[in-house]
Chain A
Amino acid sequence: MLFKLSLKNIKKSFKDYAIYFLTLVLGIAIFYMFNSLDSQQAMLKVSQSTRELIQLMITMLNFVSVIIAVILGLLIVYANNFLINRRKKEFGIYMTLGMGRRQISKILFIETIFIGIISLAVGLIIGVFASQFMSVLVAKLFEADMSGYTFVFSKDACIKTCLYFAIMYFAVMIFNTFTISRYKLINLLTAVKKNEQIKMKNPIACVIIFLIALATLVFCYYKVTIDADSIMTEQKMLQIILLGIVATILTFWSLSGFILKIVQARKKLYFNGTNMFVLRQLHNKINTNIVSMSEICLMLFMTITILSSSLSLRNTMQKDLIEMTPVDVNLYKPAYLPEGDEDYTKEAVEDSKKPITQTLKNNGFDLNNLKDIIEIPIYATNDLTWGDTLGSTLEEAKKQFKMLQYDTAESLVKVSDYNKIARLYGQEEYTLNDNEYIILCDFDNMKSLRDEALARNEPIEILGKEYYPKYNECQSGYIEMSTSHINTGVILVPDSCELKNTMTEEMFLAANYNADTKEEKQKIEDILAGVGDSEFVQKLKDKDIELDGVTKISLIEASTGIATIVVFIAIYLGIIFLIASSAILALKQLTESSDNKQRYVILRKIGADEKMINKALFRQIGIFFLMPLVFAIIHSIFGIQFVIKLMAVLASKEQLLPSAITTVAVIGVIYALYFIATYFGSKNIIKEE
């Protein structure tokens, strides 16, 4: 009997359940997709160098899915609570008919199980197929090898999804029982008619609190942008975050009162059409929804920040990759190793006096494999450290960056040597007078330090001779390829500088593979850095010769791996947050619309036409949707800047704007869809019968 009732209830209130069901299905599908990623790694064919990255990714995914499960759990309990509230009258009728609370709980219990099973099934099916599609998309996005593609069904992910959602449904059941036990029959029966007691806030208090909240927000914004260096510790960051959350809540607490007060003072605006009604309606609703509005705002804020910073990271990496890998291979090996040191073999010491090309040839590497070979020495001396180059700015620098190793020796390169490399890389070449030097540096933080020192035009001393900076800031350029701008500084000195051979720190070689096709290049790559040691590498190892290097292919692979992890996790988190906040907003609005149906009936009765009423409804829902979004966007403008600072190495500002715009556009579309659905749903609810 109860079972039949439950079934009929679901059928009957299907319209109400639609958003709940949709959210469940989406949540399950995404949860599955997220967790099945590790079993799909097979198709993201990455080389051995990124194996470890994948392990890291799986660990992070596991961690993140716990967070996501909590978010989804809260969302489901929340959505369920709305449905229960909508059905108060129904429960009232059951109770008048003599049904006990326990039996009502049982009905809800059966309903939850029923909906749970259906949504799990539908969600998993969608998840399985969507994850295939997702994999293809992601593989394309990150230029991964698609040849190993197979249809993947992850049993682990499936079991995990079922388990997590079973726990969530269980929470819902407990919650329902609890809610039902609190109901009083009289309240249930009169639930619809009950006139809301409007708690009005003191408008002056609203204005004052609003101003305080605004000031606090501005303070937080200042802290995370201009004064960001002062909050680099975890504790201080947490303080600012908490302060920001409190300020956001206060803003929503006081905002509507503040706006109301201002608009009321402008009679022309206030007494115009349904403005008065819309404003009061907003004021009333926001009063009862401060926490959820703040929550939605913060969720959107996180979504925007996470998505745009991660997209920016990915864009930066890809743009940098092309820019930063002009040749196929860089090789370097330490030069002039100390003789008689036990750490080095005799062969290694002997070899360190020879150029790299010689090492290659001696160990059986065919030099015909390479073309455009340029080899230069890089010098260093303990007489010229970072501290020395910073000169009189050293003390300030120490205050700003305590952790820097100021006694690191600077790398010195003769300008003509550098120009050879620059020509090969397609970069700017330089000329120097006998008493001049140039610093090449493109690592942002280091560059700003060095620029300050350069601006003072103080000389540096090499082998007793003074040199003055040619430019008052660092020039761009690098010698060794890397995935991003991390050149902390190379000093170019005139050829006349008498650097001795013994001061050579390392030999550096840049070259291209003498091959045209990808396969041929891969063959040469395999000799130098293949999976498993080649004969050549084995020989070097036997002699203990430290020949190191980077190749274009390995750089791209590594970079793709990092970008993949970051973007994956960000996209999933972002989408979950977005769905959660949109669903909450939509549910809230729909429920409010049906709760406030009477108000629209009154409007209609006193002569407002449909156009007017729809306009009022549209504005009301629109403002309700827009307000958290606007605040979230403002928050993220500042938040993203802070994230950029945190990830100084990996992201850059120029890359951010397009990412942020893309993110806001994506969010805008999903958000707008929910908005439209809510508007039409509400319109339907308040429609005259």
Chain B
Amino acid sequence: MENVLEVKNVEKYYGNKSNLTKAIDNISFTCQKGEFIGIMGASGSGKTTLLNCISTIDRVTAGTIVINGKDITKLKGNNINKFRREELGFIFQDFNLLDTLTAFENIALALTIQKVKPHEIEERVKEVAKKLEITDILNKYPYQISGGQKQRVASARAIITNPELILADEPTGSLDSKSARQLLESFETLNQKLNATILMVTHDSFTASYANRILFIKDGKIFNELVKGNDTRKQFFEKIIEVQTLLGGELGDVI
């Protein structure tokens, strides 16, 4: 299997010499095509920093990140933007939809920015909307639709460009449980039917249980790794809870 993402000895420091914070402390992992990886950790564990580094929003202090054979830590200026636009798809906790544009236009914007030919756009948007079951809300504005629908519109925008890697940052963070379930089911569909590679950051065990493999991060280091394998989602969920308990702190911390 080809590696879509290779993270090698990545470190990220904040602050100065006298007051150094290691947000990421030597993390390495790989992600293969068609995988659905979850990254879990408490707030402040460095999971969002890691995602920002992978998504080229932030720069690493040391180490390399290779996406689709390209070392993104060496990219500069407009190449970063070009790379981000062509190879990555983003799904954010607060949807990040433009409130002045309709759902259709929000999705189409990802394509127009890539200078896709206008006549292709309509077709592609409709196609992806069908898969995510948002066809009937395409002409509505973000304020007219529910949170779950918004997140599905955002997902549609993320995958419409056929990115190598979809990065999701707490995608269910602003959703109620029903909408969250619906969204995660559509992630599953994207992952299984379209063979999309998804990297999802979350602190919610239920959300994480939809992934194939989970990396647990604590204090900037990989603390544990869980692979779903042939488990049912319920079994996998219980395993996650177990790890979470461990992650919560060593016995010594309690006393």
| Interfacial residues, chain A to chain B (CB-CB below 8 A) | 195-198, 200, 267-268, 270-277, 280-281, 283-284, 599, 601-603, 605-612
Contact = CB atoms under 8 A, between A and B. Distances in A.
A198 B82 contact: no
A609 B96 contact: no
Given A606-B109, A607-B85, A611-B78, 12 more contacts: A267-B122, A271-B112, A272-B115, A275-B112, A276-B108, A277-B98, A277-B109, A280-B98, A606-B85, A607-B82, A607-B114, A608-B81
A370 B81 CA distance: 86
A196 B101 CA distance: 12
Interface in B25-65: 57
Contacts of A609: 78, 81-82, 85
Contact of A612 (B88, B92, B105, B113): B113
Name B's interface SS. helix
Given A198-B143, A267-B118, A273-B113, A608 B85 contact: yes
A7 B115 CA distance: 50
B133 interface: no
A606 B95 CA distance: 11
Interface of B: 57, 78, 81-82, 84-86, 88, 90, 92, 96-101, 105, 108-115, 118-119, 121-122, 141-143, 157
B143 A197 contact: yes
Contacts of A605: 57, 90, 92, 96
25 contacts: A195-B142, A195-B143, A197-B143, A198-B100, A198-B141, A267-B122, A268-B118, A271-B108, A274-B112, A276-B101, A276-B105, A276-B112, A277-B101, A280-B105, A283-B100, A601-B96, A605-B92, A606-B85, A607-B85, A607-B114, A608-B113, A609-B82, A610-B78, A610-B81, A611-B78
Contacts of B90: 605-606
B84 A607 contact: yes
B85 A271 contact: no
Given A274-B112, A274-B113, A599-B100, A607 B81 contact: yes
A274 B100 CA distance: 13
A280 B101 contact: yes
A611 to B, nearest CB: 7
B96 A267 contact: no
A411 B115 CA distance: 78
A284 B141 CA distance: 12
A469 B114 CA distance: 77
Contacts of B115: 272-273
Nearest to A273: B112
Contacts, number: 87
A329 to B, nearest CB: 73
Contacts of B105: 276, 280
Nearest to B122: A267
Contacts of B100: 198, 277, 280-281, 283-284, 599
A533 to B, nearest CB: 78
Contacts of B92: 605
Contacts of A611: 78
A280 to B, nearest CB: 4
B112 A267 contact: no
For the complex of A and B, list the 8 residue pairs with the smallest distance between their C-beta atoms, beginning with the closest. Answer: A607-B85, A609-B81, A271-B118, A280-B100, A284-B100, A602-B96, A267-B118, A607-B84
A608 B112 CA distance: 10
Contacts of B122: 267
B83 to A, nearest CB: 9
Contact of B109 (A267, A268, A276, A284): A276
Contacts of A197: 143
A195 B84 CA distance: 26
B99 A270 contact: no
Nearest to B88: A607
A345 to B, nearest CB: 87
B249 to A, nearest CB: 32
A195 B98 CA distance: 10
Nearest to A196: B99
Contact of B98 (A268, A275, A599): A599
A267 B141 CA distance: 19
A612 B85 CA distance: 12
A640 B100 CA distance: 39
A607 B112 contact: no
Nearest to A600: B98
A274 B98 CA distance: 12
Contacts of B96: 601-602, 605-606
Contacts of A283: 100
Given A276-B105, A607-B81, A608-B85, A602 B113 contact: no
Contacts of B113: 273-274, 603, 606-608, 612
A77 B157 CA distance: 43
Nearest to A270: B118
Contacts of A273: 112-113, 115
A16 to B, nearest CB: 24
A280 B106 CA distance: 11
Nearest to B111: A271
Contacts of B84: 607
A610 B141 CA distance: 26
B82 A200 contact: no
A270 B109 CA distance: 10
Contacts of A281: 100
A198 B142 CA distance: 9
In this complex, which of B57, B96, B109 has the most chain A Cβ atoms within 10 angstroms of its Cβ? Answer: B109
B110 A606 contact: yes
